[in-house]
Amino acid sequence: MRTVLTASRLLTPDHVVEHPIVVIEDGVIATIASRPHSELPAGQHVELLDATLIPALFDVHIHGSGGHDVMEATDSALNHIGAFLARHGVGAYCATTVTAPLDSLLHSLSGLAKLMDAPLDGARPVGIHLEGPFLSPHKRGAHAESQLLAPSVDLFDRMWQASEGNILVMTIAPELPGAEETIVQATKLGVRVSLGHSDADAAAARRGVLAGAVTATHTFNAMRRFDHRDAGLIGEVLTNDNLFAEIICDSLHVDPTIVRLFWKAKGPERALLITDAMAGTGMPDGTYQLGELEVRVKNGRAIIGEDTLAGSTLTLDRAVRNFAEFTGAGFTATVPLATRNPARMAGLDSEIGILAPGRSADIAVLSAKHEVIETFLRGEPQMAPSTQGFFSG
């Protein structure tokens, strides 16, 4: 089947195409052309007036949404999460675990492994982000202290086996004894190691990078405080041009001024937008699970204990709008931070995060205000009923 999309603008995101004509055949992008230069080919025409087309977004750090947590590791939970994410323009994500008793963690990893290639609704999990148990007790955030474990190659290998090789990203505190060997081993297996939940000083952070780390987990949150005499992990993240770095751009986790500092330091090639979203995202105030933890959500804040942030209720489309606004970078410059950059960090940029012929037709359709009005995944519209009036072709 052939579908022809026309719109106002398309961001590949490396190039801008005005008045694009996108031809989709059997779920794959066949061609991308510009209207003034090309005739409209035959096929089912979907005219997306005033819309901007961008690659479907990719979230490398997300725990859940729409009432469900990825550690439930059932097709029903991932279908709910995937459908919710698709409504927010997301096409792919890393199912992110939290620290849990080892048996439950292994159980979740093997459950998720079985679902990686399953036919699921909406956004698809493309790997697992193992966040914990190799975290610093001093910067554990919401992670349960009693379940944190010292990093070791043996323990990592057990998790790797349980995940059937599906761990794509691993957060680790580089200053912990055993961390360097574990980073080396994970890197050897193709895991993208992310430094975070860490009390590392600058030297320990550098050792983590030399061992193989390529990115940093929610920069500023759950890291040793930045001090001009003790730059710590944050100093390394902000000054090492090779490191990617995540940020949660919801104005609760990081002040907008710090987001501007982050943008100046990390720039258009290395900054990554993530949500760190948990089950309460897109849901009313109440109590939700984060792994095995009970988290209260009130007015968009996900809290555990007295006042510790436990994930967010951010959606990635909103993160893009927030970042563009907070930094003044503009929308076009921000889109790669949630598409191309995470795909490059994860080593998946030959498959996702960029619109080009031969790629899966995973396309978010945005209004003039950059709200998601439709998402095509594998060429199929994900939210058609509410946007039927929008289709004129």
Cα gap 303→329, rounded to integer Å: 31
CB of 280 to Zn ion, least distance (A): 13
Cα gap 112→184, rounded to integer Å: 24
Total site size for Zn ion, rule CB under 5 A: 2
Residue 320 and residue 370 in contact, taking contact as beta carbons nearer than 8 Å: yes
131 vs 374, which CB is nearer to Zn ion?
A: 131
Q: Would you give the DSSP letter of residue 330?
A: -
CB of 390 to Zn ion, least distance (A): 34
Cα gap 131→145, rounded to integer Å: 13
131 vs 317, which CB is nearer to Zn ion?
A: 131
Residue 11 and residue 268 in contact, taking contact as beta carbons nearer than 8 Å: no
Residue 337 and residue 320 in contact, taking contact as beta carbons nearer than 8 Å: yes
Three-state DSSP class for residue 95: strand
Residues 98-157 that bind Zn ion (CB under 5 A): 131
**Residue of closest CB approach to Zn ion:** 276
CB of 225 to Zn ion, least distance (A): 19
Nearest 5°: CA angle at 384, between 39 and 81?
Answer: 125
Q: Is omega for the bond preceding 174 within 30 degrees of 0, making it cis?
A: no
* Structure tokens that stand for 72 in this block: 């439930």
Which helix (H) or strand (E) covers residue 187, if one does?
helix 179-188
Cα gap 260→109, rounded to integer Å: 36
CB of 311 to Zn ion, least distance (A): 6
Contacts of 17 (CB under 8 A, 6+ apart): 9, 10, 11, 32, 34
Residues 222-281 that bind Zn ion (CB under 5 A): 276
CB of 275 to Zn ion, least distance (A): 9
Selected catalytic residue, list 199, 276, 317, 362: 276
121 vs 131, which CB is nearer to Zn ion?
A: 131
154 is catalytic: no
Cα gap 129→146, rounded to integer Å: 21
CB of 208 to Zn ion, least distance (A): 18
Residue 366 and residue 377 in contact, taking contact as beta carbons nearer than 8 Å: no
175 vs 276, which CB is nearer to Zn ion?
A: 276
171 vs 185, which CB is nearer to Zn ion?
A: 171
| Catalytic residue positions, numbered | 276
Give the footprint of Zn ion on this chain (CB under 5 A): 131, 276
